[in-house]
Structure 1
Amino acid sequence: DAGSGQDAAAAEPARPPRPPLPPAPPPPRLPWGRHLEIGADVALVNRIGARDIDGNPTRLRLKPAIGLGLHARWEILDHLRFSAFFVHAEHELALAPGALAQPGSITAEPREDGAPSVRTIALGARFAPTLPLSERARSWLSVGIGYDRFYVGRMRVAEPAGVFTIRERGASYVEIPLGVGMSFDLVQDWLTIELETTGAFLLGRGGDATREGQAIDAQGRRRAVGPLPQTRGSFIQTLGLSLVL
């Protein structure tokens, strides 16, 4: 009956309380790794070429220039990185007498006393096998592919018979860059300084800048304008800082 059931339950010994659960273990800490580096560069840019596409001297060349660049590197394997780069520079044109098949003096337009210039950009991607030298230093070799664009601004030709304008022109190339570099952590795993030297072969025939052009002189006559040099290669040295992410 109900009374006997209550008596049996009361006769059972009390169970000890359940002990509290042990504290949860701390979450495992994953090892840190260099996954991404983003930075900016100061570049010394040298474009090589003083002949047109037919191999004839052009009487002008692009002077070396100081440029600015950006880069990003991604460590896809322990000793292999993928990088993207961008470099911009403005080169002054060195003009010998008779350059561009013009007997008159050539200056930039609208600056009557300024030398003509060529703006260049290089952008592309590279793969870089990397060798760690210490906890803070590493070196690498790189090979890749890129795109180069040259933009030649307007020029002003002054002759005894008057002044006329040579319009802007452009050229484009595919480049195959080969490089070597080295970096060192100024602040370990946070901030890196790096030095890289890259030489590139430029492929293609350029554009209208490397072919003979035309202009209308002060007398209204059509005037032939000589081509700019066909660029065959470049050397770029960069000094940069990178933030390690």
Structure 2
Amino acid sequence: MGGGVVYVSRPLFGALPSTTPHYQTAVGFGVDLRWDLLSFLRVHPYFLHVVHDVPIPGGALTTGADNSISAGTKFPETSAATFSFGVRVEPVWWLNERLRAWLSAGVGWGRLRIPVQVAVDPAVGELFLPDRAFSFVEFPLGIGAGFDIIKRWLAVNYDLAVVPVTGQSGVAIEPFQAMDDSGQVRDIGPLEPFDVYFAHSLNLALIL
């Protein structure tokens, strides 16, 4: 079992950062458990937590409806807290008594949450935006390597994973409404869901 740092990128392919809310690359943490089923095969339950800054450019969440927020609406700096957990299966190749490499494939479930925001629309004043979230199913595919710092007791591990995502659902990626200072309901556009993310992880693990 072990834990360490994770460097995660969640690109939005085809979207321009100047016009679309996007998830900035961030460092988080991960917890890993690895159980040997055979000398060459193990299961790997995992947990991942990362907080991404999410810049929202002016005009990015307008909808075109008559009651839409205006293009000049300013959103405060915000972040998206994400977590995911799941299990991977890993065939392992021992290169020597201390060094090993592996492939991995698995399935997991995750969630992204945007906290409460107060935006300012120059046409109507402040808008209260409740917290919103969406969930997703992920299929991590990766490669990795590990080295026993202390033989059969303490290891350092590195993993690189490409993680396709599907089944995104939730209010954060759907149009929603907020009330302005005058009590009128305003339409607000959704965030863009990501379809894949990339994760580099480096951790220390006790070998039990």
Shared fold per TM-score greater than 0.5: yes
Task: Look up the match of 1:89.
Answer: 50
Task: Look up the match of 2:168.
Answer: 205
1:58 shift after superposition: 7.0
> Which ranges of structure 1 fall in alignment gaps of 5 or more residues?
1-37, 108-114
1:159 shift after superposition: 3.0
Amino acid in structure 1 at the alignment position of 2:83: I
Fraction of identical pairs, as percent: 32
Task: Look up the match of 1:181.
Answer: 144
Task: Look up the match of 2:33.
Answer: 72
Does residue 215 in structure 1 map to residue 178 in structure 2? yes
Give deviations 1:93-126, integer Å, cap 9, x for gaps: 022221222422101xxxxxxx111100010000
Secondary structure, aligned partner of 1:204: strand
1:206 shift after superposition: 2.1
Amino acid in structure 1 at the alignment position of 2:161: T
Task: Look up the match of 2:75.
Answer: 106
1:90/1:119 contact within 8 Å kept: yes
The runs of 4+ residues in structure 1 deviating greater than 6 Å are: none
State the TM-score, normalized to the length of structure 1.
0.77
Amino acid in structure 2 at the alignment position of 1:202: V
1:134 shift after superposition: 1.0
Secondary structure, aligned partner of 2:191: coil
> Which ranges of structure 2 fall in alignment gaps of 5 or more residues?
63-68
1:162 shift after superposition: 2.1
Task: Look up the match of 1:192.
Answer: 155
- Residue of 12, 20, 27 corresponding to 1:49: 12
In 1, Cα distance between equivalents of 2:25 and 2:182: 36
Task: Give the root-mean-square deviation of aligned CA atoms.
Answer: 1.7
Amino acid in structure 2 at the alignment position of 1:222: V
Task: Look up the match of 1:118.
Answer: 80
Give deviations 1:210-237, integer Å, cap 9, x for gaps: 1000000122111001101121011111
Which aligned pairs between 1:17-36 and structure 2 lie closer than 5 A? Answer: none
Secondary structure, aligned partner of 1:223: strand
1:239 shift after superposition: 0.5
Does residue 241 in structure 1 map to residue 165 in structure 2? no
Higher strand share: 2
Secondary structure, aligned partner of 1:209: helix
In 2, Cα distance between equivalents of 1:204 and 1:66: 25
In 2, Cα distance between equivalents of 1:100 and 1:51: 17
Amino acid in structure 2 at the alignment position of 1:141: L
1:50/1:229 contact within 8 Å kept: no
Higher helix share: 1
Secondary structure, aligned partner of 2:5: strand
Task: Look up the match of 2:108.
Answer: 146
In 2, Cα distance between equivalents of 1:206 and 1:177: 19
State the TM-score, normalized to the length of structure 2.
0.90
* Between 198-207 and 160-169, the greater mean CA deviation after superposition: 160-169
In 2, Cα distance between equivalents of 1:205 and 1:144: 18
Secondary structure, aligned partner of 1:157: strand
Number of aligned positions between the proteins: 197
1:51 shift after superposition: 7.6
1:48 shift after superposition: 2.7
Secondary structure, aligned partner of 2:168: coil
Amino acid in structure 2 at the alignment position of 1:92: D
2:158/2:203 contact within 8 Å kept: yes
